[in-house]
Structures are given as structure tokens and as C-alpha cells.
């Protein structure tokens, strides 16, 4: 089916507004993306008609809320081709998913001098939870280096394995460079050493088809708000066997089987990890976002965004004194760049005045900035509703930047 991406833009009410008096050109999709009308309506519908607490009411309303909530779990299971719906754990976002694995899996399975492998290009949320864990259990972090193009150094990766390696935690796609990592191959290699792999899919899940069984990853995390769904909700996928081996992350309601002051027994997976009342509306809204994406087709979205990436790479490369940071062969629609003698924050402010929303800064990936010896970069990142006119506006804005700072 041929999708007309131009017409899809009309599904996103927020994009109709202006930014500092100019039509909004939203190119900060890696930070979060805008929501289609159907998602906004679903949340409003839920609070208007279906709101009740889940998994506990004996009345129809609560059963309906529970059914809608659990339906999303099944939607996600099919979306990423997990084997079982109970391998889908609802969390607040990719960040909480990683913290959950670090604290629940890591604290019970790692000991002094064990090693956790992450890469130079990780988002802080795939660094700090492991650092905290390493401090708690006396483990060490091992860092997989990246090349000047912004790709994983695969030789170095293979050589980093020791008998103490207990986990590899790696981004599927980098938010700072756009690099798509060869995670299937990396997982295969890790498994030859019997090491489980957590994949941070925050920047990949919204932009390409993901099949967790094909990848054979042990954990996969992502956030709804970067995939056209509401904020405050995300997913931890974990293989059944691993989730079963993990103690609860937080204590509270819903995660228990029975409680006495002498002893509490825990609920089964995934409820064991979902203490307290979750973001029910968020989960339901996310289910609607996924149905929306499925209808368009992740393959189509990936192809559309690759076209934008190619167009933007070509246009930006033609700007004198502009340097693209991260030129991996396989990238998502993310372009980080710097302009000679103009600080990214000044570029951001000038673009803002032209209605263009981009990100300027270290993108929560300070080790990447250090690797490339830069204080910051400018980042444009694309979503399904962007088109070449957005990129043309960016180019015009950058020409204005160069005029001001000539």
C-alpha cells in the first residue's frame, strides 16, 4: 500500500500552530514526538467513559478499564513479536525499564568484579543505572568504543568479553548520532559467551519494524512518548525465563499474591513488576498510537524517514562550514551537526525565531560529545509527519544563522 505521508500531517493537531509567529517546523522527534488526534481522543474518551482502577473492581466499569489496559499488552506483544503477552511489562519509560533490569536482575545476578558492557554512544539513561548498580555490587563498567563515523567498533567489542562479563546494554539506535547498531550480530556474539543483552530501543522502536524473537534480545525497552503515544508510559520486554528469575522492583499493590506481616508472596510476571496503580489512560492511549502506526506500516515509516534522512544529508552537506557528526552507514532519521564558529545554542535560538524546533546541546549523551571533542551539537530528527519542506525551512534558517554570524 502506498501511503500519502503529506495527508498524515493533518492527523496531528499540534502541528497546525505557530512558533514565534512562524508556522511550526517540528524537528525534535528524538526528544518526543507529537500525538495524532486518535490518541488524544482515546485518552479523553477513557476519562469520560471508562475510568476505574484495574485488576480489582468487581463492577463492569473496572472490568472494562482492565480489559482495555490488558488489550494494549497484547497489541505490544504482536507489535514486537514477543512470544507471550506476559513478557510485556509496563513501566514509565525506557529509563525506568533500564533501572528495573539493573536493580532487579542486576542486583540479584551480579557480584564483585563482574562486568557490564555498554557503549560510548549510550544515552545517560543507559549509563547511569549501570553505574549505580556497579557501585552497589562492586561491578565494573566496560565501554565499547565507537569509530570516527559513529559506529560500534566491532573488533573491540568482541575483545571486551571476559568470563566476568554479565550483561551487554546497548542502544538499538543512538539519539545523538542516529547510528543504528548491528544489534542482531552483537546479541549473537554476546550469546556465544552466555551473556544476556538489554537493548535500549527508545530511538529505534518508533522508526522501524522490531522483532524481539528475531533479534533474540533478552530485554528490550522503549518509551511511548517517542512513538506518538502519551508521556509517562513505556515498555520493558523481557524473556519469560529471565523475568521469572527476577524479584520485584518496587513493592505495593497489585504486585502481590498475598500479604501478611510475616511474609508476602509475589504476584506472577508481569504484575510482579507493576506495583501500584499504573498510568491506565497512558497505556490505553499507547495502544491506540500503535494501532495508528500499524495501519501506516512500520516499513513505510522507515522508508519515508530514510528518504528524509537522505534528502537532509544531501542538503546540509552542501552548506559550507557545516559538519555532520555521525555518518554511520545505517542511520535513523537523526542528523547531528555543527557549524564552524557558531555555537549550537545560538543556532537553536535563531532557528527558533524562524519557527523551527530542533535540539541544541549534549543530547543526554555527554560521552559522545567528549568522543568528538565538542561541547554540543545541533540535532534535527524526523518523524512520520515531516516532509522535505521542513528540511528546506531548516536550510533557509541555517543560511540566516550564517548571515548573522558571518
Partner 1 sequence: MAGLRELYQEVIVDHSKHPRNFGELDNPTFRKDGFNPLCGDKLTLTISENNNVIEQIRFQGCGCAISVASASLMSEALQGKSRTEINAIFHDFHQLVTQGHNTILEIRLGKLAILAGVAEYPARVKCATLAWHTLNAAITGDTKQVSTE
Ligand X SMILES: Cc1ncc(COP(=O)(O)O)c(C=O)c1O
User: Which positions are catalytic?
Assistant: 364
Q: Does 178 bind ligand X (CB under 6 A)?
A: no
DSSP state of 46: I
Give the separation between CA 96 and CA 338, rounded to whole angstroms: 32
The secondary structure element, H or E, covering residue 220 is: strand 219-223
In the list 41, 153, 254, 346, the residue contacting partner 1 (rule: CB under 8 A) is 346
3-class secondary structure per residue, 328-358: CCCECCEEEEEECCECHHHHHHHHHHCCEEC
Decide if 119 contacts 170 (C-beta within 8 A). yes
| CA quadruple 206, 331, 302, 359: dihedral sign | positive
In the list 344, 358, 371, 402, the residue contacting partner 1 (rule: CB under 8 A) is 344
In the list 103, 175, 336, 402, the residue contacting ligand X (rule: CB under 6 A) is 175
Give the separation between CA 122 and CA 366, rounded to whole angstroms: 9
In terms of CB distance, is 30 or 267 closer to ligand X?
30
In terms of CB distance, is 230 or 344 closer to partner 1?
344
Q: Does 84 bind partner 1 (CB under 8 A)?
A: no
Q: What is the dihedral of CA 274, 206, 9, 29, to 10 degrees?
A: 90
Q: Does 29 bind ligand X (CB under 6 A)?
A: no
In terms of CB distance, is 210 or 360 closer to partner 1?
360
Piece of the chain touching ligand X by CB under 6 A; list 87-95, 186-194, 286-294, 383-391: 87-95
Give the separation between CA 368 and CA 176, rounded to whole angstroms: 7
Which does residue 341 bind out of partner 1, ligand X, none, counting CB within 5 to 8 angstroms by kind? Answer: partner 1
In the list 73, 77, 86, 123, the residue contacting ligand X (rule: CB under 6 A) is 123
Q: Does 362 bind ligand X (CB under 6 A)?
A: no
In terms of CB distance, is 234 or 270 closer to ligand X?
234
Q: Does 188 bind partner 1 (CB under 8 A)?
A: no
Q: Does 342 bind partner 1 (CB under 8 A)?
A: yes
CB of 43 to partner 1, least distance (A): 29
DSSP-derived pairing of the beta strands 356-357 and 25-26: parallel
Amino acid at each position: 500500500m502506498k501511503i500519502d505521508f503529506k495527508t498524515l500531517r493533518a492527523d496531528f493537531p499540534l502541528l497546525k500552530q505557530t512558533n514565534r509567529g512562524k508556522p511550526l517546523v517540528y524537528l525534535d522527534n528524538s526528544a518526543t514526538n507529537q500525538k495524532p488526534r486518535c490518541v488524544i481522543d482515546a485518552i479523553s474518551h477513557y476519562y469520560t467513559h471508562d475510568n476505574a482502577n484495574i485488576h480489582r473492581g468487581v463492577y463492569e466499569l473496572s472490568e472494562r478499564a482492565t480489559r482495555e489496559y490488558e488489550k494494549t499488552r497484547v497489541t505490544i506483544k504482536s507489535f514486537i513479536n514477543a512470544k507471550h503477552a506476559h513478557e510485556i511489562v509496563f513501566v514509565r519509560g525506557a529509563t525506568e525499564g533500564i533501572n528495573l533490569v539493573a536493580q532487579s536482575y542486576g542486583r540479584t545476578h551480579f557480584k564483585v568484579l563482574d562486568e557490564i558492557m555498554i557503549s560510548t554512544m549510550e544515552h545517560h539513561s543507559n549509563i547511569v543505572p549501570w553505574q549505580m548498580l556497579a557501585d552497589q555490587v562492586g561491578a565494573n563498567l566496560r565501554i565499547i568504543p565507537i569509530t570516527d563515523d559513529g559506529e560500534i567498533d566491532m573488533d573491540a567489542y568482541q575483545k571486551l568479553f571476559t568470563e566476568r562479563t554479565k550483561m551487554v546494554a546497548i542502544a538499538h539506535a543512538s539519539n545523538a548520532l542516529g547510528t543504528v547498531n548491528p544489534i542482531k550480530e552483537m546479541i549473537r556474539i554476546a550469546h556465544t559467551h552466555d551473556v544476556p543483552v538489554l537493548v535500549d530501543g527508545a530511538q529505534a522502536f518508533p522508526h522501524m519494524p522490531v522483532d524481539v524473537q528475531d533479534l533474540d534480545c533478552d530485554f528490550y525497552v522503549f518509551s511511548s512518548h517517542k512513538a506518538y503515544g502519551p508521556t509517562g508510559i513505556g515498555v520493558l520486554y523481557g524473556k519469560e525465563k529471565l523475568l521469572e528469575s527476577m524479584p520485584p522492583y518496587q513493592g505495593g499493590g497489585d504486585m502481590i499474591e498475598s500479604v501478611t506481616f510475616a511474609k508476602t508472596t509475589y504476584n506472577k510476571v508481569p504484575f510482579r513488576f507493576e506495583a501500584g496503580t499504573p498510568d491506565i489512560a497512558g497505556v490505553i492511549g499507547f495502544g491506540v498510537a500503535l494501532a495508528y502506526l500499524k495501519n501506516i506500516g512500520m516499513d513505510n515509516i522507515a522508508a519515508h524517514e530514510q528518504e528524509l534522512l537522505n534528502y537532509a544529508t544531501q542538503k546540509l552537506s552542501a552548506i559550507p562550514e557545516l559538519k555532520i557528526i555521525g555518518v554511520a552507514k545505517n542511520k535513523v532519521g537523526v542528523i547531528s551537526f555543527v557549524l564552524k564558529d557558531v555555537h549550537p545554542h545560538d543556532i537553536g535560538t535563531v532557528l527558533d525565531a524562524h519557527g523551527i524546533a530542533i535540539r541544541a546541546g549534549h543530547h543526554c549523551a555527554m560521552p559522545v560529545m567528549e568522543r568528538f571533542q565538542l561541547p554540543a551539537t545541533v540535532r534535527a530528527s524526523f518523524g512520520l509527519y515531516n516532509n522535505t519542506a521542513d528540511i528546506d525551512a531548516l536550510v533557509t534558517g541555517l543560511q540566516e544563522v550564517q548571515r548573522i554570524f558571518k
